[in-house]
Structure 1
Amino acid sequence: MIIFPVTLVVSFLRYTPLFDAAVSSLTPVMGLFGLPGEAALPLVLGNFLNLYAAIGAMLAMDLTVKQVFILALMLSFSHGLPVESAVCKRIGAGFWIVTGFRVALALAAGLLVNLLWRGGSEPASYGLVAPAQAEPEGFFEVAAAAFGAAFFGVVQISLIVLAVMFVIQILKDLGALGLFARMTKPLLKPLGISSRGSVTMAGGLVFGLAFGAGIILEQAREHDFSRREITLIALFLCACHAVIEDTLIFIPLGINVLPLLVIRLVTAVVLVALIAALWKETSATSKTPVVNKD
């Protein structure tokens, strides 16, 4: 699992001069979001790898509740860009459109929360990862502290992931995806998406862009989505997908995860509805997008 090596390495490096130099150089930029310079590391790991790598890095850092929430929110909007943007490209949405959309959402969310939220200054409590009583000194103490943080980080995230996978498997066995798709159909019209996109939307919302890629690609091949419609679907799912997994895996960071879900869902609905209202269907956008048949 990626969390263990990432947490181990970051925990160890944060006591080295190299880490201090990197933090100092990034502090002015990260300060715009109310974050320390070291917070750039989980953002980079999350965007180029996945959320698990980002959380592994965060577990090795001393952050406040507000800082953890800001990072979690930014990463909720923008993570796993190489893989998830590639999925969007396969279904006919522009790679750079969805990537730019997600990065812009993350940056705007971080700036707004930092400006509007005055609380959350207390130190974050990382569940099973208890805060150190004293700074470790010497190689062996640092190594032991890093190993402990990595081990407990893996334990708690694994518990969450196992529970999430169990729930998702039950939903699959019960055929809940079809039921969820039928429930969401009335909500699609204001978003400029026809009812035939309900299964695609449901698949992305429940399973995510990466794990739900099979469902999303299959639906894109079967239905004659217009360029406009598939782009709106992709933008919505970029802002809000994998609502079970991507929400619950932040629980070990000791924050209230419900606001994360609400903010993502409201943002996706409002922005996509606005884009749909401004972007009218034309002969150019009504053409079926090219979907890779391989």
Structure 2
Amino acid sequence: MSLLIESARSVVKDSFDLFWSLLKVMVPVMIAVKIAQDLGLVESLAQWLSPLMYIVGLPEEAGLIWVSALLVNIYGGAAVFIGLMPDLQLTVADATILWSMVLIAHALPVEQRIAQKAGASFWGTSALRFFGALAYGAILNAIYKAGDWLQQPLELAWLPQLEDTSKASWSDWAWSNIQSLFWVFVIIFVLLVVLKLFDILKINDLLSKMITPVLRIMGIEGRATTLTMFGTLLGLTYGGALIIKEAQAGHVAHKDIVLSLCFMSLCHSLIEDTLLVMALGADISGVLFGRFIFSVIVVAMIAAWMKRRPQPVASKA
């Protein structure tokens, strides 16, 4: 019983700590989006991003969500999403494409700096994630349209609706976003509970056993296999930190470092981030299964290319 109580206290404390950290990111972004809407900047910025969104079949405004995630993090993108959602007419397929792209490419300034310290090229891995996200978004769009899958309108019952956020008063906007942030906290709490249950039920261990053989198929071998597995399940920051430590000690071959970082760049935090974006309307087919398969194929291609060109393709600079 004492263990259960302690676990519950830990989850509640972690939920509030994480929520407070996210508020410091999300609230300024939400305010910036509202100001941009009032000044008519959203439409102008969206037009600049429209060519990229055309490639993946998304409305122009979705580009603002992705760019925010690229420069800040997933929660920065979520803040813009919450601000724009009432004005967007998205399908479930659209949401899946958008959040799949966000999962592949987000927080590039921070996360790819970690990859650089671990021994991969900052610009190389950033380009891999950026263009990989566009390619995967285009593939998903083609598949969903060809099969007429997930074309129903996206409806998020927990997200308060304003008929037109660009014309809403600041008081209405504030109340709507307070409600949204409350539900964000609920999502975070449930997410942490699920992660705790995964740990207690040893589900992470089962997933690890399933992922390890796939990593070997991609040519990731030795100690890098375990490190990549941790990064894939828990996040690039965690996995990258372990890679840095092992690389500095000379325990991991350069080839394995590069392949490991390439895979973690495309496919990391497989549990937590996936559950989060599913709460934001994404379907598991794209954000989990398809993303994992896509990442394996891309990194397997990189591994095959590296075998033909054995000279170094990354540096620690």
Q: TM-score range by the shorter chain?
A: 0.7 to 0.9
SS at match of 2:141: helix
Cα gap change, 1:279/1:197 in structure 2, threshold over 3 Å: closer, same or farther?
Answer: same
Q: Show the counterpart of 1:127.
A: 157
1:106 to 129, 133, 146: 133
Cα gap change, 1:218/1:164 in structure 2, threshold over 3 Å: closer, same or farther?
Answer: farther
- Runs of 5+ in structure 1 lacking a partner? none
Q: Show the counterpart of 1:64.
A: 90
- The percent identity for this pair of structures is 25
Deviations 1:222-268 (A, max 9, x none): 45322221111011111110011210111332232343111111011
Quote the offset at 1:215 in angstroms: 3.1
1:116 to 143, 147, 166: 143
2:103 pairs with 1:76 = yes
Deviations 1:9-52 (A, max 9, x none): 32453244333333344435433322222222111110011000
Cα gap change, 1:211/1:63 in structure 2, threshold over 3 Å: closer, same or farther?
Answer: farther
Contact 1:182/1:198 (8 A) holds in 2: no
Segment of structure 1 superposing worse, 51-60 or 177-186: 177-186
Deviations 1:96-135 (A, max 9, x none): 1111111111111222233332244543223311333x43
Cα gap change, 1:215/1:165 in structure 2, threshold over 3 Å: closer, same or farther?
Answer: farther
1 or 2, which has the higher helix percentage?
2
**CA–CA separation in structure 1 for the residues paired with 2:257 and 2:273:** 23
2:236 to 209, 212, 222: 209
Query: How many residues are treated as equivalent by the alignment?
Result: 287
Contact 1:205/1:243 (8 A) holds in 2: yes
- Structure 2 length normalisation: TM-score? 0.77
Contact 2:118/2:240 (8 A) holds in 1: no
- Runs of 5+ in structure 2 lacking a partner? 1-22
Cα gap change, 1:6/1:123 in structure 2, threshold over 3 Å: closer, same or farther?
Answer: farther
Contact 1:13/1:19 (8 A) holds in 2: yes
**CA–CA separation in structure 1 for the residues paired with 2:155 and 2:35:** 20
Contact 1:207/1:242 (8 A) holds in 2: yes
Q: Show the counterpart of 2:68.
A: 45
Contact 1:63/1:123 (8 A) holds in 2: yes
SS at match of 2:61: helix
Quote the offset at 1:94 in angstroms: 1.3
**CA–CA separation in structure 1 for the residues paired with 2:214 and 2:58:** 36
Superposition map of 1:273-284 within 5 A:
273-280=300-307, 284=311
Q: Show the counterpart of 1:96.
A: 123
- Structure 1 length normalisation: TM-score? 0.83
Quote the offset at 1:282 in angstroms: 7.5
Superposition map of 1:167-246 within 5 A:
167-168=194-195, 181=208, 184-222=211-249, 224-246=251-273
Contact 1:177/1:202 (8 A) holds in 2: no
SS at match of 1:60: helix
SS at match of 1:128: coil
